[in-house]
Structure 1
Amino acid sequence: MHQKDRLIRIMKVLRSQSAPIAAEDLARVVGAPEPLLAEDIRVLVRRKIPVHGDAERGYLLEQARETFTLSLTLDEMEAALMGAVWAVERGDPTVATAARMVVAKLARHLPEELRPVILESERQAVAKLPTYDGRMMRQALRTRAKVRMRYRGLKGEVTSRIVWPLVIAHADEVRVLVAWCELRDGFRHFTLDQIEAIDVLDARYPTRRDKLLADWREYQERTGHRANV
C-alpha cells in the first residue's frame, strides 16, 4: 500500500474517533505494521495535521483544526487544482477570485508531487476575464429577466441586443449563452468571451422557460446549430 493511501486511511479512522485510539488498533484497521504507522503519523505532524499522542497513549485528531485536503487522493487533488486553474483563466471575475482562493488553500498542504501544478498556475499571466459581471448573468438566468447586452461579433462589429437568457452551454470548445434574441427574432448562441457588457432589465420575458427550452431543442434539430448543456 502506498503511503498516500495509508495517510488517507489514517485520517478517516482518526476522524471517527472521539477518544485516543491505541497504536495497535489503528495499525490493524489501516493494515500497516506499527513501525510504519509511526512514520506515517510523523509525516502528518510535519504537514501540520493536528494529530496528538504517541504509541503508548494512543492517537487523537484535533477535529476543530482538521484540514480537508488529506481526504483527497493525489489524483483527486490534482483534478481539483486543474479545475481551479481553469476557472482562474476562464471564469468571470467572481468565479476567478474564488478559484484563486481554492488554489491558495490547497497549496498550504500540497504534497511535493503536486508542486509543479501550483508553480505552473503562478507563472501564468493574468487571465483574460469577461468584462461583464457574471453574477448579474446568473441572476438573469434564475429570474427569467431580460438582458440588454453589448456583443462583439467575429468580425469585430459591436451590436446592442436585448436577449432572453436561457442557459449556459458548450458549443465546440467554447462556452456560449443560449438566448432568444429580440433583434434577430430567434435563438442565438453568444460566445461568453465576446460579451462586453450586460444590463439586467426589470422586465421578465413572457414565455415559460421550459417552453423556451423545448423550442430551442427543436431549433437545434432543425438547423444543426448544436450546443451542449
Structure 2
Amino acid sequence: MRRTDQLFQIIQILRRSHRPVTAQRLADELEVSRRTVYRAVADLIGQRVPIYGEPGLGYLLGPGYEMPPLMLTPDEIDTLVLGAQMVSELRDTALAGAANDVIAKLAAVAPEHLHGHFAEPGVAAKPSPDDAADAADSRALRAAIHSGRKLRLRYRSADAELSERIVWPVALGYAQTHFLLIAWCENKAGFRHFRTDRILAMDVLDEPIGVRRGELRKRWVRWREAERRQLGEGA
C-alpha cells in the first residue's frame, strides 16, 4: 500500500469508529507493524489532522474533520464500480442512469494514476437474466419514501386478483428477477411486499404516514426478523 493511501486509510478507519482505535487494530487492518502505525499517526498529526490519543490507549478523530474528497483507494473504486454495475443491471432506468453518471463524475476528477480503475475495472457484475421483470419508473416511489407520504395502489396479485391499497412505503427492494415495494398496508394492517411490475396504478397522497420514517423502518426490521425466526422454528 502506498504511503499516501495508508495515511488516508487510517483517517477512514478512525472516521467510522466512535471509540478509540488502538494501534494494534490499525496495524491489523492495514497489515503493517504498530511502529509503522505510530509513524503514520505522527505524520498525520504533523499535517494538522485532529487525531487525539496516544499509544496504548487508542486514537480518536476530532469532530468536524473533513477528509479531502475523492481520495479513494483502488479497493474503494472497485466497490463503487461494482455497485454501479449491479444497479445498471436492475433494469430501473432512473437508477441505472444515475449510477453511470456517478462513475463518470468520479472518473473525471480522480487522480490520473487511478483512471485505469474506472476505464478497465477489475470487477464485473453478473448480467440480469433475460426473463427479469422491467421495473416501473422508481422516481415517484423513491420520492414518496423520502417524503414520508402515503401511496394509493391499484394492485394485481399473483392469482390475478385486483385490489386497491393504501400503503406507507418503507423501501424499494431489488433482486435480479423482480422488484419489491416494502410497505405497511392499511388494508391488511401489516407489512407487505408488492411486486412493482404488478402495480397497475399509483397515486402519491398528500397525507403523511402515521409515524416517522425511521421508526417505520425499525418496525419493518423487527417484523422481518420475527418472520425469519418463525420460519427457522418451523424448519
Q: Which has the larger radius of gyration?
A: 1
